[in-house]
Structure 1
């Protein structure tokens, strides 16, 4: 089939333009908040940055998982996944406000000498949690993610040009395993540096895995929404089938369960240990106003999606499944709100910046994603299993 048949429809260009406009206007309005209350601004900015970072890095993890397993589920969404990974340069730019001016507001607990004097850290923490160390490690994390992005995107493009090169496919599979390990390690340490260090006197060994699982939930949710929107028009409308949605829905259910398993494991271990230095995280978040948010996360991030996604009919439904997916992205934002904001305030009511900054950063990210999506055919035309993956049959 000719490549032009799988070029992005005009709706993607409209999405790009509107997303950039909405994101730019929202970010412009949010700058007033930065001038009035920089601490509140950067707390909201960090939460919003983690949301869009998760969409890109979760997609990177899914790209490598698909190459490793050779599953047909990933062939349908590979090009949207690759487009999402290519937003990482934008995320480097979006990280700069945190690195250049936001650190002194976010990480006072270990950057401010007065705070350190009130609650001293261990010698290891004092050597690890430093301004220069934070920036150097951030540089390493982004270097790892950008290298993985470049490798898998370039090899995928080569596959389109050299469709009979079986060695290229083996190379993709061989690199995927170590790539997943690098992604998980880098994200785990980034979660420690960027989020867990907000409360440096508390620690959890499973904390990074919570973020990895959450990123897989949000990126798979975004991919489901994307392919259903693309299937409203040609050329994708003749490609997407109910069995594809069923496979993606099953994976989404698996990732929701994985996230819940990690979250509950952390709670169970810390709560049963009942050590004063460990329970501070949950003592803040499970009582009062934050306890209400915890219940919302438990019910609407796990129980409701879990029981809905158990239904085979709902997983194959083009109208219902994307709504569940978009809801999970919203719940991911609520979960990040619950994980980060109690370090700054006892009030669990979102500020106007908590509502505006996700729109700002999300709009810019979505616009850049749409721009990337137009650069390649919507399907990996060089994949030897493409014909079988899009063949019309049901199971």
Structure 2
């Protein structure tokens, strides 16, 4: 009787908490954290505590990953509707009572000042994965229409703030779930072709469309300026085009091998704006060159492919859709940030995962990866 009631050793209980953590996913995260800390130490060494704070944010993300990974996948599914509803209600509250900074109304005071749109990066794919899980085996066209409405409601509210970067991430995350749920290619290709034609026309008629005073109606003025600056950053080299031009100069000056750790002139002479946040990729490229960029790209590809592997092997439809959306989120983060710094995409507020400074973004990444570990653990439990 006493043998039955004996508690297991403490080390065995602790080991049980870590059992099921995907080792390759853990390795990918540690690689990116190492690169991020290295880049932050160099680019932010004269920003006081930026490096220390970045390390603290990573520890916070690691703690969130560990805690969320312990939550059963069924419980995460139960949280989908409440989190989505809370996020939409807060977005409506921002529209009515939000705090405006620099022309954008994105925050609300609920005792502390928060940005509710960040919640939708997680709750949107959760909600849609829950919806398609319930409709599994009985999908009709109306199910996809309802999913599209569930997606466009928060995206529209976020664009109203306006916040182009976050709305893009939420749309990509939700759109990925809808596509992976079985949306036909016949419905995907036409809007892609239409977008390509629109970009071609925009490039062709850029001189007349970007004249001062021209109103595009569908975009805010600052968004129009970003597109026009992307097409020709030399139009205003010391103003709106300064960010893109300095980022391109820094990337090009790094060459193949880079100027070396702590040796970036564009970085440390403060020519690169936001060199520890949105434009840290330019500072990293200057110091570590093409070789360093290839190493960073390899680390991101390693992470993304591992995420999709976990998605493909998930034990439930909910897990597959949610993990696939998380993979798309990380791809979008990395692609959009590197693209805007390199001058091939408009400048939007999208950080580089684990490399850019920012506590809110790190919390979001931690939640995403914690959910991913929960999906991987659920797969192993299911097989056992």
TM-score normalised to structure 2 length = 0.34
- The normalised TM-score by structure 1 is 0.33
Larger radius of gyration: 2
Which of the pair is proportionally richer in helix? 1
Higher relative contact order (CA 8 A, sep 6+): 1
